[in-house]
Chain A
Amino acid sequence: MKSKTLRLYAFAYLAFLYVPVLVLPVFSFNNSQFIAFPLSGFTTRWYGALAADSVLRHALSNSLTVGIVTALLSTMLGLAAARAVTRYRLRGAGAALGFISLPLFIPDIVLGLSLLMLLGAVGLPLSLAAVVLGHLLVCVPFALTVLIARFEGFDKNLEEASADLGEDGWMTFWRITFPLMLPGITASLLLTFITSFDEFLVAYFLSGTEATLPIYIWGQLRFPERLPMVLALGAIILAVSVALVIAAEYIRNLGVKKPMVGA
């Protein structure tokens, strides 16, 4: 009896989570301008319209650039910080970690607004570079969380053994730390990329005239006739995001369960 209620609840909850999301792909294949049931037939023309839109391609390339640069930078910064926190007895490490993670809890609109004012105050132009800076604030905590967890499951003696066997810090990093951290690094790259790629508010404040994909989509919503095309775009982003998250989790677990991949 009790388990039946619980099961019902679980189904209801999952439906609540995923039905709205599934509306996107469903209507993106619907042969009608209007988002309403009943569906009026299958078409791929909205996807075709996407491919033909040069403004969209530009926004997509902006988003990819920002996402990739943000992912690389935040993972590098996260790697350095995670190693410092887990390897050395540092005074104030806990406080530093707290402050690094704080942007996660600051509303993006506050973050975007304050960065906008700061850039104005120091006279820096609004640009994709400014968006990257803003995204770093949001992404470094993610990178740090993933990488610290990985470093904690990593025997510190391995790096010492490498030094003992004659390698300096740099070679130890490339021969031991990097290969063993690779699953964590990959997971961090994917997560920070997605976070940056999907981010709207900070990008909206800081991007100036260069729209990223979310900003482009936001702009399209003013034109009802373009809505199905936006749905098609949303469906693609959804599919790619899900694939990336699954890949990131898979790679991360791969490393956790089987940290000893023989050469």
Chain B
Amino acid sequence: MSFLSIANVSKSFSGPPVVNDVRLEVARGEFFALLGPSGCGKTTLLRMIAGFETPDSGTIAIDGEAMNAVPPNLRPTNMVFQSYAIFPHLNVFDNIAYGLRKLKLPKDQLRARVEAILATVRLDGLGGRAADQLSGGQRQRVALARALVRESKILLLDEPLGALDKRLREAMQVELRAIQRKVGITFLLVTHDQEEALSLSDRVAVMHQGRILQVADPRTLYERPSCREVAGFIGEMNFFHATLREIAGETATVNAGILGILTLPAVNLAPGMKIDDHILLAIRPEHVRFAASGVAGDVAASTFLGERSHFHVKVAGRSEPVFVSGSAPPAGAVHLEFTPEKLIGLPSDS
């Protein structure tokens, strides 16, 4: 079933492992993202899939074929480099046709194929353009076209939108998704931009210090992160220390200290939690409301974000503010209410 299969892969360059016992299964035709902060090992993992680095241990298989001993030029993968790596001495057409030499296509077929892919990335008519006469967005498209034209099994994208400005990046995100649907190739994207990963991908793997913390679809990742690192890396999250008091049927009761006794759906607890366990209670800012009664606090700071604002609410007995997302609060002292079904219980760090 699985198309790209990464089994127990580790890699270190002089020092602690950069990629540590990673297991990953990616399905055919999937748009999959590796998300993590810089230095988390995501690019090294991508380069191992492309064949530029060799795993110290573990196996990488594509479509059932072990890849460990296969050099990069014989792998069924193509890569869009972060620097784009456009060949500076070749024009757009020759850059894209570069990887088609071995097919020995007749001239008109070669031309047709290059022009078709130029149309796909919306660079029609730019084949004769010299490499140094391209804008950042155009270079990105040439790199994409050059990798796509070979119709390999997997397209690897290393921070492909990182060098573009915000507006162009957002436009390219939409386009990238459309292109992937059109060509139907498996896309594996490496990014540190959580928005990009969430908006583009079918599934996301969150990496941290060489390990994969969670693999899930974007909604699950956002609503049900499996640990504090994932929750903190994707969007904003409030954390409270709490103790699990009771699980009765579908409802769990926790003692959350300054927040008092709270109930939440038992399914929102991480698996394997027992009564009296110390847990981390987490809730997104948009699920905290200003109300007539509840936890008392003072608004310490606010950020206007357009349709809504972001508030830092100081609560007695807690050093960190509680983040609340919503419309303007009542003046002076406020009370906070937490949507019970949006509370989740994560394993405590300690």
Contact status A168-B73, CB under 8 Å: yes
A89 to chain B: closest residue by CB: B13
Q: Which of A158, A164, A167 has a CB less than 8 Å from the CB of B50?
A: A164
Report chain B residues within 8 Å CB of A157.
Answer: 81, 83, 85
Kindly provide the distance from the CB of A220 to the nearest chain B CB, expressed in whole angstroms.
47
* A261 interface contact, C-beta 8 A: yes
Whether A158 lies near B87 (C-beta < 8 A) is: yes
CB-CB under 8 A for A163 and B72, given A157-B81, A261-B89: yes
Query: Which residues of B are found within 8 Å of A167, using beta-carbon distances?
Result: 73, 98-99, 101
Determine the chain A residues whose CB is within 8 A of the CB of B85 once the complex forms: 155, 157-158, 160-161
For B74, the closest partner residue in chain A by CB is A166
Task: State which residues 187-236 of A face B: CB under 8 Å.
Answer: none
Bound-complex Cα distance A180 to B131 (A): 13
> Residues of B contacting A164 with CB < 8 Å?
50, 72-73, 77-79, 99, 147
User: How many residues on A have C-beta within 8 angstroms of the other chain's C-beta atoms?
Assistant: 22
Q: Which of chain B's residues has its CB closest to A161's CB?
A: B85
**Interchain CB contact under 8 A, B89 and A260:** yes
Q: Does B25 contact A (CB under 8 A)?
A: no
Residues of chain B lying within 8 A (CB to CB) of residue A262: 89-91, 129-133
CB neighbours (8 Å) of A263 from chain B are: 89-91, 94, 130
Q: Mark A132-176, 1 if CB is under 8 A from B, else 0.
A: 000000000000000000000001011011111111100000011
B16 within 8 A of A: no
A48 close to B (CB within 8 Å): no
Is A120 interfacial (CB 8 A cutoff)?
no
Measured between alpha carbons, how far is A166 from B78 in the docked complex, in Å?
9
Interface residue ranges of B116-152 to A (CB < 8 Å): 129-133, 146-147, 150
Question: In this assembly, does A259 line the interface, its C-beta being within 8 Å of a C-beta of chain B?
Answer: yes
A 225-262 binary contact with B (CB < 8 Å = 1; else 0): 00000000000000000000000000000000011111
Please tell me if the beta carbons of B99 and A165 are within 8 angstroms of each other in the complex: yes
Asked if A98 lies at the interface with its beta carbon under 8 angstroms from chain B, I say no
Known: A161-B81, A260-B131. A176 touches B102 (CB 8 A): no
Q: Would you call A260 and B132 a contact (CB within 8 A)?
A: yes
Chain A residues with CB below 8 A from B130, complex form: 260-263
Residue of B nearest to A259 (CB): B88
Interface flag for A125 (CB, 8 Å): no
A168 to B99, CA, bound (A): 11
Which A residues lie within 8 Å of B87 (CB)? 158, 161-162, 176
Q: Which of A158, A166, A176, A259 contacts B73 (CB 8 A)?
A: A166
Which of the residues B50, B51, B71, B88 comes within 8 Å of A260, measured between beta carbons? B88
CB distance from B11 to the nearest CB of A (A): 14
Bound CA span A260–B89, Å: 5
Contact in complex: A175, B91 (CB < 8 Å): no
Q: With A157-B81, A262-B131 in contact, do A162 and B98 touch (Cβ < 8 Å)?
A: yes
Docked-complex contact B50 and A155, CB < 8 angstroms: no
CA distance A261 to B79 in the complex (A): 24
Residue of B nearest to A179 (CB): B89
User: How distant is the Cα of A166 from the Cα of B50 in the complex, in angstroms?
Assistant: 11
- Residues of A at the B interface (CB closer than 8 Å) are 155, 157-158, 160-168, 175-176, 179-180, 258-263
Besides the known contacts A163-B71, A168-B71, 9 further A-B residue pairs in the complex with CB atoms under 8 A apart: A157-B81, A161-B85, A164-B73, A164-B147, A165-B146, A165-B150, A179-B89, A260-B132, A262-B131
A-B contact pairs, 24 of them (CB 8 A): A160-B72, A160-B79, A160-B85, A161-B79, A161-B81, A163-B52, A163-B71, A163-B73, A164-B72, A164-B99, A164-B147, A165-B98, A165-B147, A166-B99, A166-B150, A167-B99, A167-B101, A176-B87, A180-B89, A262-B131, A262-B133, A263-B90, A263-B94, A263-B130
Which 9 pairs, one residue from A and one from B, show the smallest C-beta to C-beta distance? A262-B130, A165-B99, A260-B132, A260-B88, A157-B85, A161-B85, A163-B72, A163-B73, A157-B81
